[in-house]
């Protein structure tokens, strides 16, 4: 089993040794491991789901929120989707050794920039056990070893899934330590992983602001934050209001527990009276708690008395639940200012019929993914054709948006000559 029995440092050291073998492995070998991983997910489905039921039962006993239980839960369909994603990742072009660009200097030197693995990637995550497989598959495809540190709430699920992944790697002759998990979920383990300079090359946290603060306080290893998603949908004065209704309902309701769900609806004042009564009624009928500013309540008609009052905290919140903040703005510029002030840099959408408004929104909104006339729910590595994602980076270095196999690589310059010396 791929569970740590020594210290977190011991696990990281073993992963470092494994990463050196992976870096010189062939794409065929790594794809064979991914195929074995997908097959094992299917043949061991009963064991995986049984472990997951234990976690979900404990979560219910611990009175976890509905959104956390949803993220924690695996079923046959989600497990089948995980196996399918692994096979999709295997079918992607091999990023390792890919020449990004090249040119010949006047002195005859050939200079190529070549994609190479990062080395050891540590992923720290909370409730979602599918992350164990998604991240393991992406790291394996890109030639990296991975150290997983899940939360105690998914301990049973993660243990079996990590064993499946490590066993698949070992079954094709690659080092099983390429996939390791540090179990227990203690903060001391997080601090130890986060300070393994020269051993761990990158940490990617997937979780809330508390996890982010904990890493900022201790990490000496580079961190790429797959951070929170305080996402907005802005309905412009020129929007097709039926499209706008469908987009906000989808962005809020389809899966409210995930980071690309909308948390705030902004509506131009010129269409607010026509749009909000119907849209808010549908959202309320689908179980959404609505918190609106004074301007939105003033045009909400019969719904006005049932709307909560939006506060500063609501504009700042990622609810992970069926709660939506609603505001009215007087221009696209005001909407952009609101989004840039309160958004987390994840996914933002404008619904508009105006090319000028769309261009202003896409050029001025500071986010990893910006949508025109589409739901924010599409921000996902799998949907973008990347097979899966380790997370969605809201940073600007070294990757932004969904983190896939190419984002898990660095590069080196390979320079070939014929005896040249510099004078």
pLDDT at residue 207 in the model: 74
Strand order across the 110-117 sheet? 99-104, 110-117, 409-416
Whether 422 is in a domain gets the answer no
User: Residue 162's domain is classified under what CATH number?
Assistant: 3.40.605.10
Rounded Cα distance, 322 and 289, in Å: 6
Asked whether residue 334 falls in the same domain as residue 192, the answer is: no
pLDDT at residue 1 in the model: 42
Asked whether residue 313 falls in the same domain as residue 410, the answer is: no
pLDDT at residue 398 in the model: 86
Helix (H) or strand (E) holding 415, with range, is strand 409-416
Asked whether residue 251 falls in the same domain as residue 370, the answer is: yes
Return the C-alpha torsion angle 333, 339, 342, 345, nearest 10.
Answer: -140
3-class SS of residue 102: strand
User: Is the distance from CB of 141 to CB of 95 less than 8 angstroms?
Assistant: yes
Asked whether residue 59 falls in the same domain as residue 194, the answer is: yes
Residue-wise pLDDT for 356-404, tens only, equals: 999 999 999 999 999 999 999 999 998 998 888 888 998 888 899 999 9
pTM of structure? 0.88
Asked whether residue 266 falls in the same domain as residue 222, the answer is: no
User: Residue 285's domain is classified under what CATH number?
Assistant: 3.40.309.10
Whether 320 is in a domain gets the answer yes
Whether 120 is in a domain gets the answer yes
Asked whether residue 152 falls in the same domain as residue 250, the answer is: no
Asked whether residue 100 falls in the same domain as residue 124, the answer is: yes
Q: Is the peptide bond before 256 cis (omega within 30 degrees of 0)?
A: no
Asked whether residue 206 falls in the same domain as residue 258, the answer is: no
pLDDT at residue 387 in the model: 83
Whether 421 is in a domain gets the answer no
pLDDT at residue 250 in the model: 98
Nearest to 227 by CA among 345, 377, 56, 100: 345
Task: Give the range of the structural domain holding residue 80, as residue numbers without chain letter.
Answer: 8-226+390-416
User: Count of alpha carbons within 13 Å of 362, Cβ hemisphere only?
Assistant: 13
Given the structure tokens 């990757």, which residue do they identify? Answer: 399
Residue-wise pLDDT for 412-421, tens only, equals: 999 999 999 9
Asked whether residue 280 falls in the same domain as residue 305, the answer is: yes
> Residue ranges of the chain with pLDDT lower than 70?
1-6, 184-186, 227
pLDDT at residue 3 in the model: 52
Asked whether residue 117 falls in the same domain as residue 87, the answer is: yes
What are the C-alpha distances in Å from 160 to residues 49, 52, 78, 91, 132?
A: 10, 9, 16, 25, 10
- Residue 34 CA, distance from chain mean position: 20
pLDDT at residue 6 in the model: 63
Asked whether residue 174 falls in the same domain as residue 320, the answer is: no
Whether 385 is in a domain gets the answer no
Number of domains comprising the chain: 2
């Amino acid at each position: 089993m791929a569970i740590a029995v020594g210290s977190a440092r011991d696990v990281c050291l073993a992963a470092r040794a494994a990463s050196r073998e992976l870096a010189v492995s062939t794409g065929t070998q790594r794809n064979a491991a991914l195929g074995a991983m997908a097959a094992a997910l299917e043949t061991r489905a009963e064991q995986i789901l049984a472990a997951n039921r234990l976690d979900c039962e404990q979560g219910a006993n611990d009175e976890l929120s509905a959104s956390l239980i949803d993220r924690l839960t695996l079923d046959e369909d989600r497990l089948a989707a995980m196996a399918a994603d692994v096979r999709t990742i295997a079918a992607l072009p091999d990023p390792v050794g890919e020449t990004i660009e090249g040119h010949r200097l006047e002195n005859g030197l050939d200079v190529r920039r070549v994609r190479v693995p990062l080395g050891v990637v540590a992923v720290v995550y909370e409730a979602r056990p599918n992350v164990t497989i998604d991240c393991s598959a992406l790291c394996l495809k890109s030639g990296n070893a991975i150290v997983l540190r899940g939360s105690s709430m998914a301990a049973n699920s993660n243990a079996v899934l990590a064993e499946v992944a490590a066993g698949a790697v070992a079954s094709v002759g690659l080092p099983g330590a390429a996939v390791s998990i540090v179990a227990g979920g203690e903060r001391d383990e997080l601090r130890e992983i986060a300070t393994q300079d020269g051993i761990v090359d990158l940490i990617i946290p997937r979780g809330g602001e508390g996890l982010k603060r904990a890493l900022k306080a201790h990490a000496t290893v580079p961190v790429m934050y797959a951070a929170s998603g305080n996402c907005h949908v802005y309905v412009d004065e020129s929007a097709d209001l039926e499209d706008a209704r469908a987009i906000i309902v989808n962005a809020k309701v389809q899966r409210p527990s995930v980071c690309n769900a909308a948390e705030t609806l902004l509506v131009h004042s010129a269409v607010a009276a026509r749009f909000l009564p119907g849209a808010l009624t549908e959202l309320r009928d689908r179980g959404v708690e609505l918190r609106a500013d004074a301007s939105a309540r003033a045009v909400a008609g019969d719904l006005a008395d049932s709307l909560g009052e939006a506060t500063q905290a609501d504009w700042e919140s990622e609810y992970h639940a069926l709660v939506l903040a609603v505001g009215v703005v007087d221009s696209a510029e005001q909407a952009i200012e609101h989004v840039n002030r309160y958004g987390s840099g994840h996914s933002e959408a404008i619904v508009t019929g105006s090319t000028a408004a769309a261009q202003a929104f896409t050029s001025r909104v500071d986010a990893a993914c910006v949508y025109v006339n589409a739901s924010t729910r599409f921000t996902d590595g799998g949907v973008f054709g990347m097979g899966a994602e380790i997370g969605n980076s809201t940073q600007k270095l070294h990757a932004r948006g969904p983190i896939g196999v190419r984002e898990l690589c660095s590069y080196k310059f390979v320079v070939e000559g014929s005896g040249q010396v510099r004078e």
